[in-house]
Amino acid sequence: MVIKIHKTADDLKISTPDLIARANGRMIYERVKKQLHRIDSGETVIIDFDGIKVIDSSFIDEFLVKVIMESTVKDSGFFVKLRNLSQSSELNIDSVFHTYSAYNNNKLVILTEDLCSNNNFFIGHLKNTSRDILHYLRLNRSGSIPDIVEFTGLGEDEIKKTMEELREMRLVRDENGGYYSGV
């Protein structure tokens, strides 16, 4: 499913190209939330910011953080990726995620379709091992625990723990039987 934020904002009579204010984030989230209840578990939701120049921290908190939290609910179980982010929006998202993670003891990371200014296909903070595994899965499409152990040079228990953390953050798919794939 692709959610075009510019179109959603237009439908709600919210002026663009800048999406600022908590109220706007809440309105767009409520509209998108209705669409999210119609998707299948395991589906990837692409949030397209084409035509949007700036999203501020209040909007991110009321919209994007809530969508990410919704994706981790066991009954929902969908994945989220961002597309067509401006550099300022990317920086604002990273700042909100950093602050959220520091105060809530809960890491926020989101995948992107486009290469970000941090030279990764995600926004948020990950350990180097987690980052390397995401790159590995992006290039190889999938990998088993033994494949990832060989790639990283780390022990199996540590890789299993890391893969579980990545799965819980909805950054990798668990394909059963110890195989994982990128989103």
Specify the pLDDT at position 147. 96
Residue 75's pLDDT band (boundaries 50, 70, 90)?
Answer: low
- Reply yes or no on whether the pLDDT at 101 is more than 80: yes
Q: What angle do CA 106, 180, 156 make, to 5 degrees?
A: 80
Three-state secondary structure call for residue 73: coil
**Residue ranges per domain, the chain?**
1-125, 126-183
Are the beta carbons of 182 and 130 closer than 8 angstroms?
Answer: no
Are the beta carbons of 59 and 25 closer than 8 angstroms?
Answer: yes
Q: What is the CA radius of gyration of the chain?
A: 17
- Reply yes or no on whether the pLDDT at 78 is more than 80: yes
- pTM score: 0.93
CATH topology of domain 126-183: Arc Repressor Mutant, subunit A (1.10.10)
Q: In which residue are the tokens 């990798």 written?
A: 172
Residue 76's pLDDT band (boundaries 50, 70, 90)?
Answer: low
